[in-house]
Amino acid sequence: MNHAGHIGPNAVIRLAEALDALESRAVTVRLFNAAELGRYLIAPPAAMLPEEEVTRLHRQLRGQLGAVRATSVSWVAGQRTADYLLDNRIPKPVQRLLKLLPQRLAAFILLKSIGSHAWTFAGSGRFSWAMTQPIRLRFENCALCREDHAAAPCCQYYAATFERLFRALIDADAKVTETRCIAKGDDACCFEIT
């Protein structure tokens, strides 16, 4: 199957979990129905999703909850996604090895792996990274905020996912900050890891 224009189901499943935990099931149902994705609350998706569905859901989240509440929900959803990856996708021996390596080398290996799996979370967007100081990540045509307008960066879902992975595997004090965002009118969504 060609996965271009598709995003993995974590972007929906973990958002539902975060909404249930921080808001209420009624809010979760309302948002999913507004995004025409209520069916995923009955039967969570098990395969890649059209990115338009993910875009629609995240836009509804920001539109209905406002920036502050949406930020919190997105952050928790991103953390839960990272936890899922640590529990199910990144083999335990690899996790142990990354923790033993010098941080810079471990970060390079982790980012190389993230980059090679970008097809699972970037959809038709383009993900790239640079081992600068600080480390920089870049999303062009980011599906989470495309066609949206915001006063501040709004891709906390990705920031939280990356931060949790880096804290668990590279440095417990790692911090990920979104410095630019398409929703603010920037040409790409950019993150720095310090």
Are the C-beta atoms of residues 14 and 80 closer than 8 Å to each other?
yes
Residue 171 lies in a domain: yes
Residue 60 lies in a domain: yes
The DSSP result for 91-124, as a single string, is -HHHHHHHHHS-HHHHHHHHHHHHHHTGGGTSTT
Q: Which residues span the domain enclosing 180?
A: 6-193
Are the C-beta atoms of residues 127 and 138 closer than 8 Å to each other?
yes
Distance CA 129, CA 114 (A): 10
Q: pTM of this prediction?
A: 0.96
pLDDT in tens, the chain (194 residues): 456 699 999 999 999 999 999 999 999 999 999 999 999 999 999 999 999 999 999 999 999 999 999 999 999 999 999 999 999 999 999 999 999 999 999 999 999 999 999 999 999 999 999 999 999 999 999 999 988 999 999 999 999 999 999 999 999 999 999 999 999 999 999 999 99
Going from the C-alpha of 63 to that of each of 31, 42, 55, 153, the distances in angstroms are: 10, 23, 12, 14
Q: pLDDT at position 1, please? A: 46
Residue 1 lies in a domain: no
Residues forming beta bridges with residue 50, ordered by sequence position: 6
Residue 75 lies in a domain: yes
Distance CA 161, CA 9 (A): 14
Q: How many domains does the chain have?
A: 1
CATH number at residue 75: 3.90.1520.10
Distance CA 133, CA 135 (A): 5
Q: pLDDT at position 177, please? A: 98
Residue 103 lies in a domain: yes
Residue 113 lies in a domain: yes
Residue 39 lies in a domain: yes
